[in-house]
Amino acid sequence: MQLVIVESPAKAKTIEKYLGSDFKVLASYGHIRDLPPKDGSVDPDDGFAMTWQNYTDKTKQLKAITDESKKATRLILATDPDREGEAISWHVQEVLRKKKALPEKVDRVTFNAITKAAITEAMAHPRALDDDLIDAYRARRALDYLVGFTLSPVLWRKLPGAKSAGRVQSVSLKLIVEREREIEAFVPQEYWSITAQMEQDGQAFDARMTIHEGKKLGKMDLANEGQAMIAKTAVENGLFTIESIETKPLTRNPPPPFTTSTLQQEAARKLGYSASHTMRIAQQLYEDGAITYMRTDGVQMDGSAISAARKAISDRYDASYVPDKPRVYKSKAKNAQEAHEAIRPTSFTTRTVGTGDHAKLYDLILKRAMASQMASARLERTTVEMLDGSGQTGLRANGQVVKFPGFLALYEEGRDDENDEDSGLLPAMAKGDSPAKKSVDASQHFTQPPPRYSEASLVKKMEELGIGRPSTYASIIKTLKDRAYVRIEKNRFFAEESGRLLTGFLERFFDRYVAYDYTAGLEDELDEVSGGRAQWQAILEAFWHDFKPKTVEVMEKMPSEVTAELDIFLEPYLFPEKEDGSDPRLCPRCGEGRLALRGGRFGAFVACSNYPECKFTRRFAQGGGNAAEDEGPQELGVDPDSDEKITKKVGRFGPYVEKGEGKDAKRASIPKDIPAEDFGLEWAVKLLSLPREVGIHPESGEPVTAQIGRYGPYLSHNGKSARLENTLEVFEIGMNAAVAKLADAAKNGGGRGRGKMEPLKIMGKHPRTEEEIKLMDGRYGPYVTDGTTNASLPKTVDKDELTLEEAAQLIDARAAKGPAKKRKKKAAPKKKPAAKKKPATKKPATKKAPAKKTTAKKAPAKKAATSTKAE
């Protein structure tokens, strides 16, 4: 028997079917071991020796692999065809060697697609493990470990509130923070444009003013309304004649098929997918045999795939859409050994795969791959120049006509910022014609700051700078979001307070290690290792030689010293110059003290030097320009019942209200659905009065209360609950509506005295069973249900990005494990006999007591005392 190891159970089933009865295929479920999360797992003093530890949740898989390996005549390592896949194969081999379960013959095979032809071809050409790729993996893993476990303790002690920092993660965060600074520092400039609505032979078109007072008009030349009105009048009074018509042919070539990076960018632009969501769906499409391997820097396609694509094009269109020669694309990847075939369909005759997001992503991949082999698009761009009789005022009209669509008939690449004013059609015109002028508009504009990064533009920028590698972009972005260093609003990244502070700290004390060119250079060095052109320990030694002393130097600083240096370094952001020239550090409350950065238990903040006489504080993230938020704690008034002072404050978890002072003070968070402009004393009193008793339940005689909890507003009655729609409903819901909601929650299910909440989302009908699938928020996290089977969402799946097909697969997988529940139920009674044995141990003890009459009375007393302490 020959044992084949792959990463995914889905792949295992398919591959075993292709290989036949002589092969046993098992999945490792990804990596089986890693560096233990403790200091000392990488030893720089011993040649960067690494201590590996098996994942505890992989015990079952490792046992199955070990047992089968002992019986196998040959071990075939068939994990993914990249650096991480090579590493997993190496780990499996090393673990089996230690367990003395490694067969004499061990081979490595790789395939770019899970099809019978690709797998059969791979099995016919095995090779040995690639030591260079394994060394590159070890170098990256050790480097990331050393940065994390050396730098993070410095952050915890010197920068309160910081969670961690990473080698590439911190540099990516710096990009987002720097863009935030650019936007804040941006000063908009006013400018105007003049547009005339013209008409020729009944067809309307627009012409833009380009000449004013005999001079070429620049974009910013009309700087105010007065100048714009003068220019507008000149156009209104002019009679324009066409001076020239210039027509230029244009050719647009198709883009190459997708790489990992371009797939993430295009899926973000066209489908709105996050990088992690895109890669998760692509992984499933790959495992289903629908597309080739999705982690690649390569843009080339296999010769047979090119032929299949050209045939599919000719079948869908006509021969004119197929170029005379196949298109050949060259990869820009510096490390050719890690560059594989581009992402493409395994069959160009398969038009659709799956449903929902899976179908959309597959369609994108199919069209991009087909378009890459299609004919170029031929366009014609026309520019019409017009002058008035005096020659002092001129207009220009641009138009673009598609003469032959070529690849555009199937696919057009998206752009991050659309700005195309020349795509309109122009009527037929000739030199000397005088088009009719219908109206003239003067439009005011302001220069715009650079846009915040979207996932697509961030990935593109990281790739341009050489930061990280395409296969890591999704995990980098996910880490930034998970650690709350950034947030996403309307598909754009915003730097959070903690992210800005961390970036400032690293720029001040570890500037070299967050420099773009240094990070990119280090990536190139690591690529040299995988290409066999550099020695991995030498690279680590060079890095560690400078990095370790730097962390020691910063660790020796007092926290107050660190804060003081950050106060100076971040001064342009925290205390920008004011328009009136006044001191930006002057306390707005007492008018005497000076503001400075301070460190607190939950992070940095700005405070007055006159503390405790002046208790003005400001959150770090507010910056200095937001005067509306520079008021510190706000006294809202006095509680009408207790006469205690009510204050609005901002804490670690956001704004809240407080009644009273000290330990006895009562506090309540301010829900996000209360508009800031509406919030005042009345709302504060309401929030501090919660929970509110709605009334007595007519059936149980127990009170029904409305309150706000961790997951939002809800009703509570006799240990059961029901979700409310919003904060206002907490104070307005009546008894009849409350009883109905509780009854509805109980009717929908729920256990352990807790009514089932309303669904977070109705996913749709199960594609195979037609049952309605709902996304729910459970006690232990989100889950999906079809009314019969409940399936928890894995930690790697974001509930906001969950697709219908993924939900259905989770339910199917959980339903398939049905018998596992019975085993758990059988195991429970076995504990009961064990519990009954406890009294039996006491009986011998009491029988021994009469043997020594002098101690019989004292012995039980001592045991009783010991028993009481244990309880």
The whole-number pLDDT of residue 749 equals 54
Neighbouring residues of 74: CB distance < 8 A, sequence distance ≥ 6: 2, 3, 103, 105, 106, 107
618-645 pLDDT tens trace: 877 644 444 334 455 678 888 888 888 8
Beta bridge partners of 647: 635, 658
Q: DSSP string spanning 420-434?
A: --S-S------TT--
The whole-number pLDDT of residue 246 equals 93
Q: Which secondary structure element, helix H or strand E, spans residue 822, and what is its range? A: helix 818-827
Q: Which secondary structure element, helix H or strand E, spans residue 628, and what is its range? A: none
Active-site residue, selected from the candidate residues 293, 362, 485, 573: 293
Beta bridge partners of 791: 784
pTM to 2 decimal places: 0.72
The whole-number pLDDT of residue 447 equals 93
Residues 469 and 868: their CA atoms lie apart, in Å, by 60
- DSSP, res 591: S
Residues 394 and 748: their CA atoms lie apart, in Å, by 71
Q: Is 331 left (phi over 0), alpha (psi -120 to 50) or beta?
A: beta
Name the residue with tokens 């207790």: 642
Residues 746 and 740: their CA atoms lie apart, in Å, by 10
Residues of the chain with pLDDT under 50: 335-339, 622-630, 750-756, 819-871
The whole-number pLDDT of residue 621 equals 60
Whether 791 and 803 have beta carbons less than 8 Å apart is answered as no
Q: For residue 58, how many other CB atoms are within 10 A of its CB?
A: 17
Neighbouring residues of 645: CB distance < 8 A, sequence distance ≥ 6: 635, 637, 638, 639, 659, 660, 661
Q: CA dihedral defined by 372, 284, 6, 19, rounded to 10 degrees?
A: -80
Nearest Cα to Cα of residue 308 among 347, 344, 362, 361? 347
Structure tokens at 584: 């930006």
Amino acid at 781: G
Residues 408 and 731: their CA atoms lie apart, in Å, by 57
Tell me the torsion sign for CA atoms 582, 584, 587, 588. Answer: positive
Whether 393 and 370 have beta carbons less than 8 Å apart is answered as no
The whole-number pLDDT of residue 515 equals 94
User: How crowded is the C-beta side of 319, counted as CA atoms within 13 Å?
Assistant: 1
Residues 735 and 740: their CA atoms lie apart, in Å, by 9
Residues 346 and 671: their CA atoms lie apart, in Å, by 50
Burial grade of 187 (CB within 10 A; 0-12, 13-18, 19 or more): exposed
Neighbouring residues of 232: CB distance < 8 A, sequence distance ≥ 6: 194, 440, 441, 442
* 456 phi/psi in degrees, rounded to 5: -65, -50
Whether 466 and 218 have beta carbons less than 8 Å apart is answered as no
573 counts as catalytic: no
Q: Is the peptide bond before 833 cis (omega within 30 degrees of 0)?
A: no
Name the residue with tokens 């996050």: 274
Q: Which secondary structure element, helix H or strand E, spans residue 553, and what is its range? A: helix 536-555
The three-state secondary structure class of 712 is strand
Structure tokens at 713: 């507003």
Whether 254 and 340 have beta carbons less than 8 Å apart is answered as no
Whether 97 and 89 have beta carbons less than 8 Å apart is answered as no
Q: Is the peptide bond before 612 cis (omega within 30 degrees of 0)?
A: yes
Tell me the torsion sign for CA atoms 814, 820, 824, 826. Answer: positive
Neighbouring residues of 305: CB distance < 8 A, sequence distance ≥ 6: 341, 344, 348, 369
Whether 394 and 208 have beta carbons less than 8 Å apart is answered as no
> In three state form, how does the secondary structure of 656-677 look?
EEEECCHHHCEEEECCCCCCHH
Beta bridge partners of 705: 693, 716
The three-state secondary structure class of 97 is helix
Q: Is the peptide bond before 691 cis (omega within 30 degrees of 0)?
A: yes
Angle at 589 between CA 585 and CA 595, to 5 degrees: 25
The whole-number pLDDT of residue 86 equals 93
- DSSP, res 450: P
Residues 760 and 762: their CA atoms lie apart, in Å, by 7
